[in-house]
Structure 1
Amino acid sequence: MQRRHLLAGAAGVASSLALPAWSQSGYPNKPIKLIVPYAPGISPDVVSRVIGDKLSQALGQPVVVDNRAGAGGMIGAEAAAAMPADGYNLFYTVKGVMAIAPHLYPQAKYNPLKDFKAVTEVLIVPHIITATPSAPYNTMAELVSYAKANPGKINYASAGVGSQPHVALEAWARRLGIKLTHIPYKTNPSPDVMSGVVSLYLEASTTAIPSIQGKRIKALVVSGAERIPALPDVPTMTEFNPELDPNGVIGNSWHTFFAPAGTPDDIVARLNTEIVKIVKTPEIQARLRSLGLTPTGTPAATVNVGMAQDHAYWGRLIKELDIKVE
């Protein structure tokens, strides 16, 4: 009997040692901070709150969004890179911040490939070139024709120098032989597009679709090769010119959860499991697709490989186009 108790006790100790760290520590036992490198109301903020609310329910702890806007998302990325790697700090960001901005700002105080560990990709997001309602063009062909006749007179907004809307429109403008004037914003530029303060904006489908349907802005073209079901009459960039955005490599973005690089793998695995379950629910699938988004929910290792590929691609593209910031 005594031997059986000793063996049972030893087995219990071995079993507890095999438990992941989050099980031993009761993870999570306090609120989780989620840094979003954009202002409230912009696409990543909107989606982060939808997923964050569900994650809070799944984990039994608040997920608190902390908006750190500015510098094309780099302010938020630098803050996120410096966070403790304890599982209570996450970063919800997009392709522009991780694959584009570091090539334009070598002095950036974060390294996407070294300072972060992917948790999961949530979705792929197409972008729409939107125009103020009074703009004298309604299609990409008309925009190009007008821009060539009025070089530099068309201005466009972005979420900051080095953001994906900035670099994408510069890349397309150069390849089309037109000149556009860039106006970077630290806040959501959509109201100024509606009112005509700026003419164009490459806006994520998340926030663009309601404004387009409400006729507060007009849509010229959707990035990539697939039309958005909510906007069936808006053509794709591939329809306009198949060489400008093959498979959405320039115009499409992704939304991904990251953690600081030192975050324990078992905590990352737990977060991946919970977030992927959320993304796969019919409710979230329907909600994301209604906004023109493609839900994904991928293994962390897959995201790390994809991010490295995007980082290399945009480095080559920026060098090829000689895009620089002053």
Structure 2
Amino acid sequence: MPFAIRRRLLLGAAVLGALFSFGAAAQTSYPSKPVRLVVPYPPGAATDAISRAFAQQLGTIMGQPVVVENRPGAGSAIGITAVKSRPADGYTLLVHAEGFYSAKFTTPGAGYEFSDFEILAPLGQSSYAFIVPADRGWNSLQDLKGLNREMDIGIADLGVGTYSTLAARLASGLHTQYRPIPFKGGAEGLTAILGSQIDGYFTTIGTTQSVKDNPHVKVLAYTGRPGSASHLPGVKTFAELGVPDMVFHSSYSVAVRADTPEAVKTQLAAFVRQAVTSEAMDKARRDLYLDNYTGSLDDYKRELMQLADEFKASAKGRKEE
């Protein structure tokens, strides 16, 4: 082989080797500094609690601190856009929930698109209980079917989101009418129920634990799948009680900027999966009355997009009113 050709081949091999070594080094050097986990909700709720449990476990696995940053507001759009504004380098993660979709539909000008983020793994899910004031005399869902007046049902969203979706599904399933009563947050809705100011409210299973034995409240059903563990002894699912379109879960997951380099994203995804399947996270979910998602990641993403489509239809309906 002529010397010139052999030299070019050797140089080409050297360049390829250097590129391979650089890529490997880039992958194995991640993470080299603390990671930020943005929670677009206020401290204290289940979303925040499971995020902090995850952050602690992920930090242990990665060998770097994972700092939780609460950025609530605008239905979660403030926290989401904060992550979008930071470099796509794997050092800023987002806690992803339904607000990711509803905030975009209620505020179309929010500075992000669904395609800007990629979900890495679910953290947990919560079903909802439907509670009513005890003084209404309603002891079962049958008492609400065909009610000859509007039900005042509290909602904690802007008319597009979890609470509005559940209220609309319930009214349809019971063949009755409802009037949405807006609240700024879950605590206000609970106070209204305890004070008998509204007819009904949906609360996460974790929140329901604090009122399920209160004599002023009656828990009528919950939105879990038939046969699931309700964490509410004696309370059945809507589906088991003849309202099948009420299977619903709030889902919390971890997402990263979609344009994060693949080598970093791959390694980060491995760290995240290890953290979410750990015994520590299993315990955190039990303590917070959350369920683990047992399907595939593709199934999980597909279910969320179906919910997003439902939110989109609700937003369109509101504009046409």
SS in 2 for 1:212: coil
Are 1:19 and 2:24 counterparts?
yes
| Equivalent residues of 2:31, 2:62 under 8 A apart | yes
| Equivalent residues of 2:127, 2:250 under 8 A apart | yes
Are 1:55 and 2:61 counterparts?
no
The alignment yields a C-alpha RMSD, in angstroms, of 3.5
| Equivalent residues of 1:129, 1:221 under 8 A apart | yes
Are 1:294 and 2:295 counterparts?
no
SS in 2 for 1:165: helix
SS in 2 for 1:259: strand
* Matches of 2:309 and 2:284, distance apart in 1: 32
* Matches of 1:144 and 1:53, distance apart in 2: 46
What is residue 251 of structure 2 aligned with on the other side?
254
The structure number with the bigger radius of gyration is 2
Pairwise CA distance, 1:71: 3.0
Q: 1:152-185 deviations in whole A, cap 9, x for unaligned?
A: 5x24142554331222213322453221332131
* Matches of 2:215 and 2:18, distance apart in 1: 65
Pairwise CA distance, 1:258: 0.8
SS in 2 for 1:47: helix
Equivalent position to 2:93, from 87, 90, 93: 90
TM-score between both structures, scaled by the size of structure 1 = 0.78
SS in 2 for 1:271: helix
SS in 2 for 1:180: strand
* Matches of 1:191 and 1:234, distance apart in 2: 19
* Matches of 2:60 and 2:282, distance apart in 1: 18
1:281–1:183 distance in 2 versus 1, CA, 3 Å: same
Pairwise CA distance, 1:104: 4.0
State the one-letter code of the partner of 1:28. P
Are 1:206 and 2:206 counterparts?
yes
Q: How many residues align?
A: 307
Gaps of 5+ in 1: 1-5
After superposition, where does 1:65-214 map in structure 2 within 5 Å? 65-94=68-97, 96-112=98-114, 114-132=115-133, 134=135, 136-144=137-145, 148-152=147-151, 154-175=152-173, 176-186=175-185, 188-189=187-188, 192-193=191-192, 195-196=194-195, 199=198, 200-212=200-212
Name whichever of 275-284 and 290-299 sits farther off: 290-299
Pairwise CA distance, 1:19: 1.0
* Matches of 1:280 and 1:75, distance apart in 2: 29
SS in 2 for 1:181: strand
TM-score between both structures, scaled by the size of structure 2 = 0.79
Pairwise CA distance, 1:116: 0.8
What is residue 29 of structure 1 aligned with on the other side?
32
